[in-house]
């Protein structure tokens, strides 16, 4: 029974297997589609097959009369619900009204226009096929550069230039830097649209308890509390009457950091029909209607001195927004601007963003959200500059790095980098790969005409979002710790994880702080009726912000445990250690169970002390954190096929202190897979008419086990001073560091052929065309053009 | 149509529509939660179950095609509360993150070792080709299969 004995071994930093896994490996976890309720109905959504069209007429009568159909609703029925919210507020932002079902006009393929509710999913689908819609098809535009060119069809008729916003940011004296430059390199760099593809598609179950005036919404989301606030608004329901439950979430990667039409729509249907209703997104819908990521066309110019010192950066981002703003759509490219200097000292920057509406599904946060684009851009430009100056890519990086003693470092984009030692992971990675030897081997191979490349990226991230004034919804995070009368501990975190393992890492933190067995700790999350308000899991923030909130809640609780223990011991000099309060004079002690029991029994209380043992802390960070690292990719190119073989993949990450190395490695591996996906295989392709050509897994190439290299990962440790745990965040590092290292490697391999840039994805066909000297379908870069 | 089959050692007899997919039969009629629907097109493998000893994607098989079959799902792997060595290996090696692909991934991994008890890393990776995981980058899954092979799964 006495489990709270002194335990000397600290768990933070240990390679512990995860506490959430038993339910996952036995198939007993509850995802949204596993929820069943008596009388539950099933919804299927009817969507536009056209990218731009008006509904001339819609006949739902056959569907409504189909046996088993409970109801059909169209945009006319739901006009007063919503709109789907946009959480960012750039000056002058044009925000189109985003109906949950389009009443008249549709703006992208997949735009929802009706919902059919029936007794089961097969019947609902049968009935949905009976809806007849007469469309007036209009001209569409799916390419952001074409969208903002003269004469493009307007996505929204009220804004014929298709510009949702422009954004300008400047730091230092960029004109002077360019005027005085020895060399200027320019490059157009794209970061193609990607489809996040969480393995669990989105899904919602809504249950309306009319007598209680209570709506229960089960949704696969990264942000249960924000969803509660926003969906309540959309439905005109009091916030305290809406409970959002996030059951097991099968991956998000940003795509579930959102509030979609379907959440409010299912709430509406459940309230109308008085019965529970379930909607599960099909994979086709997931590709068409859940947000995409990236979608950048970037124009870079970098000014430098002969010795390689970077003196200025100009960047024009044309952001493909899609047809609407989802929750954070317009904010994502502003993150690219913030991180455009990368790890380099450059004081002079100029950035412009043009947010372009297109007849496509909106873009929004996808793993890295703006930072992979920025890192890809600067890391490509540094390599292009190095090639122009005939410098080694390592040398030019070392030359321009912000130095260890420069921190905290104010960047030209207005950030303050917390701490870093950028040469540390680079040197470690170079040592791991055997850089000098590889360069010698490459030189030998080049003599024989063989194509081998060594690509480096040194990346920085902005993580742990973030100080509230710099975030759309508040950047704090919350934790509650309660200790039951029996001494068992429950942690409730406001950031609801979806694969990141916080049920384990947060229990590690609590076990160490309280000095108790980890098995006495339960971590709860993802139910707004149980957990205090929180923000969510995204932007590599859960541990750095949510973990810190937990740390401070534990400090509050420890103070009370110590005070109560000392009171029970009648001691004025007591110590709390190993879950036991000991009087330093007499050696008498009280265990946590004894103290907990006494706080609830409350026979005697210390002065000014409430009964019970519970503490809640909302922690507001003073700054972001800025992890960094270095990736190196060694590749061999097959001249005959254009195939790329990754011989070595080195990832050295510095995410500050590491709570659980097993989980951190897993995050890095998964991040690299998504980075390689972008670099080599993945691309959401829309044709001229706005049809998504890569609309199924057959056409959208995801990384599979046999396509992935072995990742050699290691770490350096530079704790952040921003939080007492010293943790920075690691969820997005792998993705951010990966794509430029991969592209730099292939460009390095092809550089003897005069190749200076390749846009992603680097498909074998694209590489083969470059090798053959034929013109690639993508414009091959003309590098190093001087002004 | 009436179908009779064994699922995780237990006999089931149900009247089903001919068009009912095996995955929906397992989830909606039998009430299992392990096999998942990830793509509906047999590309992701989240629905992988064993049918007469062979790994199949239950999203592209009709329930009626499983008439008379012996089906094993992830729920049937543990015996008397003791995890199968492959489940244990996925746990030890952190082979799951969000867990959605995991049941199918474990069933496919078990099949690899059923056919070849001592696979090379390349054979493991090729064997997992039909299963998509978006979280792990596969490395810890490969480690798990290797560890399970070593444990004699």
A196: nearest CA in chain B? Answer: B134
Residue A256 has pLDDT above 50, yes or no: yes
Do the Cβ atoms of A24 and B40 come within 8 Å?
no
For A136-295, where are the alpha helices, taking DSSP H only? 144-147, 174-179, 224-235, 261-273, 283-289
Coil, strand or helix at A773: coil
The pLDDT assigned to A784 comes to 39
Contact of A758 with A750, CB cutoff 8 Å: yes
Read off the pLDDT band of A3 (50, 70, 90).
very low
Task: For residue A250, list chain B residues with Cβ-Cβ distance below 8 A.
Answer: 36, 98-101
B130: closest chain A residue by CA: A704
Is pLDDT of A190 > 60? yes
Across the A:B interface, residue pairs with CB atoms under 8 Å apart total 184
Q: How many CA atoms lie within 13 A of B57 on its CB side?
A: 18
Q: Name the pairing type of β-strands A214-219 and A242-245.
A: parallel
For B31, nearest residue in chain A (alpha carbons): A34
Determine, for residues A18 and B94 on separate chains, whether the beta-carbon distance falls below 8 Å: yes
What local confidence, expressed as pLDDT, does residue A207 receive? 98
Tell me which fold the domain A296-466+623-786 belongs to.
Aldehyde Oxidoreductase; domain 4 (3.30.365)
Task: Read off the tokens for A576.
Answer: 């709390």
Could you tell me the two tokens for A337? 């601007």
Average confidence (pLDDT) over A678-694 = 98
* Nearest CA among A653, A483, A503, A510 for reference residue A565: A483
B97: contact with A, CB 8 A cutoff: yes
Chain A residues with beta carbon closer than 8 angstroms to that of B8: none
| Range 41-80 of B in CB contact (< 8 A) with A | 41, 43-44, 46, 73-75, 77-78
A6-20, A114-128, A292-306, A344-358: which has the minimum mean pLDDT?
Answer: A6-20
Percent of chain B scoring above 70 in pLDDT: 99
pLDDT reading at A2 higher than 60: no
Q: Does 3.30.870.10 match the CATH number of domain B2-76?
A: no
Do A698 and B43 count as a contact with CB atoms less than 8 A apart? yes
Is residue A499 within 8 angstroms of chain B, CB to CB? yes
Q: Per residue in A568-604, pLDDT tens?
A: 999 999 999 999 999 999 999 999 999 999 999 999 9
Work out the percent of chain A whose per-residue pLDDT is above 70.
97
Q: Which residues in chain A have Cβ-Cβ distances shorter than 8 Å to B24?
A: 121
What pLDDT is stored for residue A472 in this prediction? 86
Label residues A19-41 b or e (16+ Cβ within 10 Å = b): bbbebbbbbbbebbbbbeeeebb
CB contact under 8 A, A697 and B43: yes
Over residues B67-118, the pLDDT tens digits come to 999 999 999 999 999 999 999 999 999 999 999 999 999 999 999 999 999 9
Class (C level, CATH) for B85-150: mainly alpha
Q: Which of A24, A674, A702 is facing B96, going by the closest CB pair? A: A24
Partner-chain contact B33 A253, CB within 8 Å = no
Rounded CA separation A391/B80 (Å): 64
pLDDT digits (tens, 9 = 90+) for A398-428: 999 999 999 999 999 999 999 999 999 999 9
Residue range A67-97, pLDDT digits in tens: 999 999 999 999 999 999 999 889 999 999 9
pLDDT tens, position by position, B32-51:
999 999 999 999 999 999 99
3.40.50.2300, 3.90.1170.50, 3.90.1150.10, 3.40.50.10420: which CATH number matches A32-138+201-249+256-289? 3.90.1170.50
Which residues, in sequence order, are CB contacts of A54 under 8 Å at separation 6+? A104, A105, A106, A135, A136, A138
Q: Is the pLDDT of residue A325 over 50?
A: yes
How far apart, in whole angstroms, are the C-alpha atoms of residue A569 and residue A320? 66
Reduce the DSSP state of residue A127 to 3 states and report it. Answer: helix
Cross-chain Cβ contact B87/A25 below 8 Å: yes
pLDDT tens per residue across span A668-681: 999 999 999 999 99
Measured in angstroms, the CA of A259 and the nearest CA of chain B are apart by 20
Q: If pLDDT is split at 50, 70 and 90, which confidence band does A230 have?
A: very high
Distance of alpha carbon A161 from alpha carbon A637, whole angstroms: 43
Min Cα distance A35 → chain B (Å) is: 9
Integer Cα distance of A658 and B11 in angstroms? 49
* pLDDT surpasses 80 at A787: no
- Out of A33, A670, A708, the one facing B97 most closely (by C-beta) is A670
Asked if the Cβ–Cβ distance from B132 to A697 is below 8 Å, we say yes
Distance set, CA A43 to CA A34, A428, A592, A775 (Å): 15, 54, 50, 49
pTM, two decimal places = 0.96
Mean pLDDT, residues A291-305 taken together: 98
Confidence of residue A8 (pLDDT cuts 50, 70, 90): low
* Nearest-neighbour CA in chain B from A209: distance (Å): 24
Indicate the pLDDT class of residue A18, thresholds 50, 70 and 90.
very high
Q: Which of residues 8-37 of B touch A (CB under 8 A)?
A: 17, 19-20, 24, 27-28, 32-37
Q: Is the pLDDT of residue A619 over 70?
A: yes
Optimal mutation site among B30, B39, B57, interface A, most CBs of chain A within 10 A: B39
Say if A675 is an interface residue toward chain B (CB within 8 Å).
Answer: no
The answer to whether the Cβ–Cβ distance between A199 and B38 falls below 8 Å is yes
Checking if the pLDDT of A98 tops 80, the result is yes
- Which phi and psi (to 5°) does residue B22 adopt? -60, -40
A437 is written with which tokens?
């030897």
**Chain A partners within 8 Å of B142 (Cβ):** 705
For domain A21-27+476-619, the question of CATH label 3.40.50.300 is answered with no
Mean pLDDT of all residues in A531-537? 95
Q: Select from B17, B28, B39 the Cβ nearest to the Cβ of A283.
A: B39
Smallest Cβ distance to A666: which of B102, B128, B136? Answer: B136
Residues 214-253 of A with CB under 8 A from B: 248-253
| Test mutation, B62, B100, B111, B145, chain A, max A CBs within 10 A | B100
Nearest CA in chain A to B88: A25
Whether A198 and chain B come into contact, CB under 8 Å, resolves to: yes
Strand runs labelled E in A536-627: 574-577, 580-583, 589-591, 613-619
Provide the 3-class DSSP secondary structure of residue B132: coil
Mean pLDDT of A700-716: 98
Best B33, B47, B110, B130 member to test A by mutation, with max A CBs in 10 Å, is B33
DSSP A61-81: HHHHHSTTEEEEEETTTSTTS
Contact list, B28 vs chain A (CB under 8 Å): 120
Predicted confidence at residue A466, as pLDDT, reads: 87
B135 neighbourhood in chain A, CB within 8 Å: 199, 251, 499, 666, 670
Residue B152: which pLDDT band, with cuts at 50, 70 and 90? Answer: confident
Assess whether pLDDT exceeds 70 at residue A775: no
Which of the four pLDDT bands, split at 50, 70 and 90, describes residue A773?
A: confident
Domains B2-76 and B85-150 share a fold: no
Chain B closest-CA separation from residue A704 CA (Å): 6
Q: Which residue has the higher pLDDT, A369 or A1?
A: A369
Closest CA to A363 of A149, A660, A684: A684
Question: A777 pLDDT exceeds 50?
Answer: no
Q: Which of A21, A27, A710 sits opposite B34 (nearest CB)?
A: A27
Contact B92 A17 (CB under 8 A): yes
Whether residue A47 contacts residue A115, with contact meaning beta carbons closer than 8 Å, is answered with: no
* Alpha carbon separation from A128 to A163, A260, A453, B66 (Å, rounded): 35, 21, 53, 29
CB A679 within 8 A of CB A373: no
Q: How confident is the prediction for chain A on average, in pLDDT?
A: 96
At A564 the three-state DSSP class reads helix
Residue A774 has pLDDT above 90, yes or no: no
pLDDT mean over A384-405 = 98
Average pLDDT of every residue of chain B? 97
CA distance B68 to chain A (A): 24
Q: Tell me the two tokens of residue A610.
A: 């409430």
C-alpha distances in Å from residue B118, one per residue of A211, A713, B124, B147: 61, 26, 9, 10
Give pLDDT tens digits for A149-170.
999 999 999 999 999 999 999 9
- The residues facing A313 across adjacent strands are A302, A349
CA distances from A671 to A366, A700, A739 (A): 11, 18, 10
- Looking at residue A300, what is its pLDDT? 98
A591 half-sphere exposure, CB direction, 13 A CA radius: 16
Q: What are the residues whose beta carbons fall under 8 Å from the beta carbon of A436, sequence distance 6 or more?
A: none
Nearest-CB residue to B134 (from A251, A501, A711): A251
The answer to whether A197 touches A366, Cβ cutoff 8 Å, is: no
Residues of A in contact with B74 (CB under 8 A): 25-27
Does position A779 have pLDDT exceeding 90, yes or no?
A: no
pLDDT at A786 over 50: no
In our burial notation (b when 16+ CB lie closer than 10 A, e otherwise), range B46-80 reads bbbbbbeeebbbbbbbbbbbbeebebbbbbbbbee
Domain range list for chain B = 2-76, 85-150
Residue in A26, A668, A697 nearest the CB of B78:
A26
In the predicted model, is pLDDT for residue A516 greater than 60?
yes
- The residues of chain A that CATH labels 3.30.365.10 are 21-27+476-619, 296-466+623-786
In chain A, list all ranges with CATH 3.90.1170.50.
32-138+201-249+256-289
Span between the terminal Cα atoms of chain B, in Å: 38
Query: Does residue A481 surpass a pLDDT of 60?
Result: yes
Instruction: Please identify among residues 720-739 of chain A the ones whose CB lies closer than 8 Å to any CB of chain B.
Output: 734
Q: Tell me what pLDDT residue A89 has.
A: 87
């Amino acid at each position: 029974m006495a489990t709270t004995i002194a335990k000397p071994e600290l768990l933070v930093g240990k390679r512990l297997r995860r506490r959430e896994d038993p339910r996952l490996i036995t198939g007993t976890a509850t995802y949204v589609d596993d929820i069943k309720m008596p009388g539950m109905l099933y919804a299927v959504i009817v969507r536009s097959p056209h990218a731009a069209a008006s509904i001339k007429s819609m006949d739902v009568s056959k569907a409504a009369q189909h046996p088993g159909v409970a109801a059909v609703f169209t945009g006319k029925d739901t006009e007063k619900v919503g709109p789907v919210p946009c959480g960012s507020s750039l000056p002058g932002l044009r925000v189109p009204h985003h109906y949950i079902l389009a009443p008249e006009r549709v703006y992208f393929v997949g735009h929802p226009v009706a919902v059919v509710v029936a007794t089961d999913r097969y019947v609902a689908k049968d009935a949905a096929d009976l809806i007849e819609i007469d469309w007036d098809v209009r001209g569409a535009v799916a390419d952001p550069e074409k969208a903002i060119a003269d004469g493009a069809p307007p996505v929204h008729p009220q804004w014929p230039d298709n510009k949702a916003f422009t954004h300008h940011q400047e730091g230092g004296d960029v004109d002077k830097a360019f005027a005085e430059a020895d060399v200027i390199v320019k490059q157009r760099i794209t970061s193609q649209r990607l489809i996040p593809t969480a393995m669990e598609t989105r899904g919602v179950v809504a249950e309306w308890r009319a007598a209680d005036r209570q709506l229960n919404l089960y949704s696969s989301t990264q942000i249960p509390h924000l969803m509660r606030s926003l969906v309540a608004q959309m439905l005109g329901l009091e916030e305290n009457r809406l409970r959002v439950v996030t059951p097991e979430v099968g991956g998000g990667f940003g795509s579930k950091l959102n509030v979609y039409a379907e959440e409010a729509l299912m709430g509406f249907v459940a309230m109308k029909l008085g019965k529970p209703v379930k909607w599960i997104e099909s994979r086709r819908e997931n590709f068409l209607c859940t947000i995409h990521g990236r979608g950048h066309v970037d124009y870079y110019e970098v000014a430098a001195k002969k010795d390689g010192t970077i003196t200025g950066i100009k960047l024009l981002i044309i952001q493909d927004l899609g047809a609407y703003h989802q929750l954070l759509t317009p904010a994502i490219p502003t993150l690219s601007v913030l991180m455009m200097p990368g790890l380099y000292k450059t004081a002079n920057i100029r950035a412009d963003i043009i947010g372009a509406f297109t007849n496509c599904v909106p873009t929004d946060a996808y793993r890295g959200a703006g930072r992979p684009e920025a890192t890809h851009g600067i890391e490509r430009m540094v390599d292009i500059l190095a090639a122009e100056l005939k410098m080694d890519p390592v040398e030019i990086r070392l030359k321009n790095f912000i130095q260890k003693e420069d921190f905290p470092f104010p960047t030209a984009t207005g950030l303050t980098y917390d701490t870093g030692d950028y040469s540390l992971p680079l040197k470690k990675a170079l040592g791991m790969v055997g850089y000098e030897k590889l360069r010698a081997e490459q030189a030998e191979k080049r003599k024989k005409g063989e194509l081998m490349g060594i690509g480096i990226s040194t990346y920085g991230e902005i993580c742990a979002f973030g100080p509230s004034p710099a975030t759309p919804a508040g950047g704090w995070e919350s934790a509650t710790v309660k200790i039951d009368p029996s001494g068992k501990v429950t942690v409730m975190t406001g950031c609801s994880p979806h694969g990141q393992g916080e049920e384990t890492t947060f229990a590690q933190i609590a076990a160490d702080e309280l000095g108790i067995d980890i098995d006495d700790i339960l971590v709860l999350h993802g139910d707004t009726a149980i957990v205090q308000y929180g923000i969510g899991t995204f932007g590599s923030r859960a541990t750095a912000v949510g973990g810190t909130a937990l740390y401070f809640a534990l400090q509050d609780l420890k103070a009370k445990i110590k005070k109560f223990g000392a009171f029970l011991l009648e001691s004025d000099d007591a110590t709390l250690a190993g879950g036991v309060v000991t009087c330093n004079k007499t050696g008498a002690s009280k265990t946590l169970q004894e103290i907990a029991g006494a706080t609830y029994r409350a026979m005697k209380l210390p002065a000014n002390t409430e009964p019970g043992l519970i503490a809640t802390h909302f922690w507001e960070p003073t700054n972001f954190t800025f992890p960094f690292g270095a990736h190196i990719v060694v590749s061999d190119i097959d001249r005959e096929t254009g195939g790329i073989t990754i011989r070595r993949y080195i990832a050295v990450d510095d995410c500050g202190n590491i709570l659980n190395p097993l989980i951190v490695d897993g995050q890095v591996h998964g991040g690299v897979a998504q980075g390689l996906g972008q670099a080599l295989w993945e691309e959401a392709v829309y044709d001229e008419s706005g049809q998504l050509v890569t609309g199924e897994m057959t056409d959208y190439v995801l990384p599979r086990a046999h396509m992935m290299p072995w990742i050699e990962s290691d770490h350096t440790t530079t704790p952040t001073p921003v939080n007492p745990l010293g943790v920075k965040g690691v969820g997005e590092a792998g993705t951010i560091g990966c794509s430029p290292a991969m592209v730099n490697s292939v460009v390095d391999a092809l550089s003897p052929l005069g190749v200076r840039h390749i846009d992603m994805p680097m498909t074998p066909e694209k590489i083969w065309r470059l090798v053959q000297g034929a013109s690639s379908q993508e414009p091959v870069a003309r590098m190093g053009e001087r002004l | 149509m009436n179908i009779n089959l064994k699922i995780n050692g237990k006999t089931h007899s149900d009247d089903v529509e001919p068009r009912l997919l095996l995955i929906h039969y397992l989830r909606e009629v039998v009430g299992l939660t392990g096999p998942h629907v990830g793509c509906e097109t047999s590309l992701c493998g989240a629905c992988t179950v064993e049918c007469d000893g062979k790994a199949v994607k239950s999203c592209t098989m009709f329930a009626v095609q499983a008439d008379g079959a012996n089906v094993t799902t992830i729920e049937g792997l543990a015996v008397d509360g003791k995890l199968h060595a492959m489940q244990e290996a996925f746990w030890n090696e952190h082979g799951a993150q969000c867990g959605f692909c995991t049941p199918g991934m474990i069933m496919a991994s078990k099949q690899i070792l059923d056919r070849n008890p001592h696979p090379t890393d390349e054979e493991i990776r090729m064997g997992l080709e039909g299963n998509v995981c978006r979280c792990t980058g596969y490395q810890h899954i490969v480690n798990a299969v290797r560890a399970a092979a070593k444990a004699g799964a």
